[in-house]
Structure 1
Amino acid sequence: MGEHDFLDGLRLSAGDTCVDVGCGDGNAVAALTRAHIKAIGIDPDPSVIAVARARTPGAVFHVAHSDHLPLEDESVDGYRAANLFHLLPDPLPTLTEARRVLRAGGRIALVGQDYGFLLLDSDDQDLTDVIGLGLESRSVAPRAARSYRDLLLDTGFHEVEVAVHTRVTTDYQKLADNLADAASAAVEKALITREDADGWLAEQADRGRRDRFLGIAPILVVTGTR
């Protein structure tokens, strides 16, 4: 997914203000700033905020949680949250805050991967599907993205639109750590044995060496108007 896909959905103009909630190390904040948007980055982790601030010194950053934003009522034109809602046991306090800080007519963009739709090629697809369940177990709400549209409509947003961007990876090294984590989680949940996990990881590493690795994940971008 390109850096400007969410910008199109937010319908922002130069000089508008946008908050990126759960901004991490600030990639989206940097993209907003390059588009001449007044960017505010918010994340509960001080270490990633320090990285983001060094990357884009002209932006504003706060260490805060998504359900308690240090912003005035109706103070921003755009609200973005990526890869956040799968971590939240209850999304409603975060969406209530989003509505509070957005001006009337402001746009929201929720971006995320639905972990129920991760495709990995394998000689043993049944085993791969079970390991996918291990990966899901690492998140509080691994399939939250499929509910974005409902969540926005239920909290009073309108003009809700859904777009899907497919992320394709053929570089095993990019996902090696995630695959190992997923396999270990499946073992911990007693879904597979350690022997199963090691054999599957060896197969994926071999695919990487032979340029036969393939991972596909749909990324949902759901936008709405306050």
Structure 2
Amino acid sequence: MGFLDRIEERLGAAELRVASYRMLGLRRGATVVDVACGAGHAAAELAAKGLKVTGVDADPEAVEAARERAPGAVFHVAWSDDLPLEDESMDGYRALRLFHLLEDPVPTVAEARRVLRPGGRIVLGGQDYGFLMIDSSDQDLTDVVLLGLESRTVVPRAARSLRDLLLDARFTDVEVAVHTEVVTDHAQLAQQLKSAAAAAVEKALITQQDATSWLSEQSRRGRRDRFLAALPTILVSASAPTA
């Protein structure tokens, strides 16, 4: 849970949540489900806006933390393709940082369509790991390290297919936006950099010496205020079909 909190409490993450709320465009009193709600940061903020919020996550520990953070919302432990909600019961559906974990996203999108009322709003989003950028004196090595990071994810480039998924499910008014978080504080991503390098070594993409050298360079960049990473998140919004 500490990892989830660190992600959501970064300034860029807060801005991303606000962008997703704008794309939902819901008024006070509307019903909304936040799927893969994590520790409940979005659920708490949506409830504070006067929305009737339901949060869903497959992780019981996350749901327990979410209940404490957003006592005014309703939470369920459930999978994204089997929501404990009535047909056409939601005005809005939000799911960020979910689709890179799904081997088959189609049942989840079908379930979103089932619970949304006709004309209801949906916002999906996630990082496309193929678009991550980290500055380095050896960009070729950095690109290989990032391939290691991709190897730790079920579908690392899932976000670029979100528009297709919604169109295939006959959602309308589909719009795409890109929110880019710029990180110049090495400490914010230090653990993720270590994980990426370790994965690249594990997959025999680079040697341990390569990994050590690359991590040392990134650390030096951090000490000299030369660290730079750009983390784009793709957001896709649409309306549920009315017929």
Same fold (TM over 0.5): yes
Amino acid in structure 1 at the alignment position of 2:106: L
Residue 167 of structure 1, aligned match among 173, 178, 181: 181
User: 1:170 Cα shift?
Assistant: 0.5
Match of 2:70 in 1: 56
Match of 1:136 in 2: 150
Match of 1:92 in 2: 106
Amino acid in structure 2 at the alignment position of 1:164: V
Match of 1:40 in 2: 54
User: 1:30 Cα shift?
Assistant: 1.2
| SS of residue paired to 2:50 | coil
2: CA distance, partners of 1:165 / 1:108: 17
Asked whether 1:74 is paired with 2:113, we answer no
Amino acid in structure 2 at the alignment position of 1:170: T
User: 1:129 Cα shift?
Assistant: 0.2
| SS of residue paired to 1:4 | helix
Q: Deviations over 1:3-44 (max 9, x none)?
A: 321111112000001000000001111111111111111001
User: 1:219 Cα shift?
Assistant: 1.0
Match of 2:35 in 1: 21
User: 1:141 Cα shift?
Assistant: 0.6
2: CA distance, partners of 1:174 / 1:64: 31
Asked whether 1:151 is paired with 2:132, we answer no
2: CA distance, partners of 1:11 / 1:121: 36
Q: How big is the alpha-carbon RMSD for the aligned residues of Structure 1 and Structure 2?
A: 0.7
Match of 1:213 in 2: 227
1: CA distance, partners of 2:178 / 2:164: 16
User: 1:63 Cα shift?
Assistant: 0.4
Provide the TM-score with structure 1 as the length reference. Answer: 0.98
2: CA distance, partners of 1:94 / 1:8: 23
Match of 1:126 in 2: 140
1: CA distance, partners of 2:156 / 2:94: 19
Amino acid in structure 1 at the alignment position of 2:121: R
The total of aligned residue pairs comes to 226
Q: Deviations over 1:117-146 (max 9, x none)?
A: 000001110000000100111111100111
Gaps spanning 5+ residues in structure 1: where? none
Amino acid in structure 2 at the alignment position of 1:215: A
Match of 2:120 in 1: 106
Q: Is the 8 A contact 1:4 1:31 kept in 2?
A: no
How many percent of aligned residue pairs carry the same amino acid?
62
Match of 2:26 in 1: 12
1: CA distance, partners of 2:219 / 2:77: 38
Match of 1:83 in 2: 97
| SS of residue paired to 2:177 | strand
Runs of 4+ in 1 over 4 A off after TM superposition: none
Provide the TM-score with structure 2 as the length reference. Answer: 0.92
User: 1:55 Cα shift?
Assistant: 0.6
Q: Deviations over 1:163-201 (max 9, x none)?
A: 111110001111111110100110111100011001101
Q: Deviations over 1:48-73 (max 9, x none)?
A: 11111101111000000001000000
Q: Is the 8 A contact 1:77 1:103 kept in 2?
A: yes
1: CA distance, partners of 2:45 / 2:136: 36
Amino acid in structure 2 at the alignment position of 1:205: S
